[in-house]
Structure 1
Amino acid sequence: MSRKHVLWLAVAAILSVLVAYQVTSATNPPAEYLADADVPTVAPGVDVLAGIAQIDARPRRGDYRRDAFGDSWTDDTSAPGGHNGCDTRNDILDRDLIDKTYVAISRCPTAVATGVLRDPYTSATVPFVRGAQTGASVQIDHIVPLAYAWDLGAGDWTDEMRTRFANDPANLLAVDGPTNQDKGDKEPAVWMPPNAAFHCQYAMQYIAVLRGYRLPVDAPSSQALRAAAQTCPAG
């Protein structure tokens, strides 16, 4: 891929430190996304899921509500430029797109007006133009889907923690809209990015978020994540 994307985590020990958010400390800021990080390496013999609880299958609570994770986007984020009047979505677009122009909208003085996405999920180049159909071409994906997190324990979190999770830049990625729609709330056992070259980064970031929020993983997805991590270069 022309763009090395998403991960700065090399081995499980690092994953346990550079996390999105530690459940035991509500004051810790989420980890910042490193847009130009190298493809992560995994040392031989390292269990990338060490310390993450495993359950037999994904439970389906059936009571998931998107609004339980707060407003769609907030300005309470550690993404580059956070607390700047721009909500998380605009900050992630600014982080992930290239060749950008800007426009002032509402409280956000630097909303991305146009840009280009080098989509990690498909390896396609996707043009972005702000407008009524903006969300159709480029969307912001929750790498660990909100509904999946809800089923695995987020339904029992505080409102503040769920809002934090929904806006954590370590769990967000600008991607091709139709591909994001295809993913929906599917877990790794059911869906992985069509671009196999991105499986290493996707799996390692997925694992980082699970670890950071102390979420478990269903057994089929643990197999999928381990298989994807095996595509990472040896460290």
Structure 2
Amino acid sequence: MRERTRRIVAGMILIGVACGVLFVQTASYDIPPPPPPGDAASISRQSAAAMLETLQVKGRSARTHYDRAQFGDGWQRQGICDTRNIILARDLVDEVVNSDCRVLSGELHDPYSGQTISFVRGASTSDAVQIDHVVALGDAWQKGASQWPRARRIAFANDPLELLAVDGQANQRKGAGDAATWLPPNKSFRCQYIARQIAIKARYQLWVTAAEKQAMQRVLGKCPGQTAPMAES
């Protein structure tokens, strides 16, 4: 798989006290995406509906022993950057990133609500934009991930294909829901959302429940030409 990096230009503000002039100096940082698991199924550009038919249909297993820490202690780091800031920098526009690879501000065109949200880093403001696991970790746990080694779960939780910057309130309402229990309020994004879930489940060989598959089919019935996204590389 061809390695790709994203270059983010971070602004460092230097104040010239003697002359009272504000200077801006820029520094560049190569930010690689988290590496995909080596044994994951490769995803090609194909019909989401056809890909759905390749997923195993089974009942939901017990949630026994599930904990967020089963997927790693927080976000994985890539050099000075962590996954949260990598995804924020990818999904926001007009983003400002400091020399520590922290996204300080930006605008999110939120796919879940259809609204534009201003992101400003801060104790009381950062949660306005959250990073959603498109296939919720709790859902993944009950549909195959509980049997994975820890390293695979960590890779899953940090895979860019599995992550989207979204409205914090919508993310909280989703919780661990699958397609049978939660869909984005923004109906124009539902086909893309379902296609992304299917691509993730195919990539990691997670199964779907019968009710979940039926919900996915109902959504895709309105967009028969919808393709599944390819894994980011």
Q: Same fold (TM over 0.5)?
A: yes
Q: Is the 8 A contact 1:41 1:232 kept in 2?
A: no
- Offset of residue 99 of structure 1: 1.1
- Offset of residue 111 of structure 1: 1.6
Amino acid in structure 2 at the alignment position of 1:99: D
- When residues 91 and 49 of structure 1 are mapped into structure 2, their CA distance, relative to the original with a 3 A threshold, is same
RMSD: 2.4
- When residues 112 and 66 of structure 1 are mapped into structure 2, their CA distance, relative to the original with a 3 A threshold, is same
Instruction: Quote the Cα distance in structure 2 between the aligned partners of 1:41 and 1:213.
Output: 17
Instruction: Quote the Cα distance in structure 2 between the aligned partners of 1:92 and 1:186.
Output: 22
Q: Is the 8 A contact 1:121 1:175 kept in 2?
A: yes
Once the two structures are aligned, what percentage of the paired residues are identical? Answer: 42
Give the match for residue 175 of structure 2: 184
Instruction: Quote the Cα distance in structure 2 between the aligned partners of 1:95 and 1:30.
Output: 22
- Offset of residue 48 of structure 1: 3.6
- Offset of residue 95 of structure 1: 0.2
Pairs within 5 Å for 1:72-91 = 72-75=74-77, 83-91=78-86
Give the match for residue 94 of structure 1: 89
TM-score by length of 2: 0.75
Give the match for residue 47 of structure 1: 50
Give the match for residue 165 of structure 2: 174
Instruction: Quote the Cα distance in structure 2 between the aligned partners of 1:167 and 1:96.
Output: 15
Amino acid in structure 1 at the alignment position of 2:75: W
Give the match for residue 111 of structure 2: 120
**Higher strand proportion, which one?**
2
Q: Is the 8 A contact 2:91 2:108 kept in 1?
A: yes
Q: How many residue pairs were aligned?
A: 191
- Structure 1: runs of 5+ lacking an equivalent: 1-19, 32-39, 76-82
Point out the structure with max Rg over C-alpha: 2
Give the match for residue 198 of structure 2: 207
Amino acid in structure 1 at the alignment position of 2:104: A
Instruction: Give secondary structure in 2 for the equivalent of 1:217.
Output: coil
Instruction: Quote the Cα distance in structure 2 between the aligned partners of 1:172 and 1:47.
Output: 23
- Offset of residue 133 of structure 1: 2.4
Instruction: Quote the Cα distance in structure 2 between the aligned partners of 1:84 and 1:233.
Output: 41
Instruction: Quote the Cα distance in structure 2 between the aligned partners of 1:152 and 1:125.
Output: 33
Give the match for residue 149 of structure 1: 140
- Structure 2: runs of 5+ lacking an equivalent: 1-34, 227-233
Instruction: Give secondary structure in 1 for the equivalent of 2:69.
Output: helix
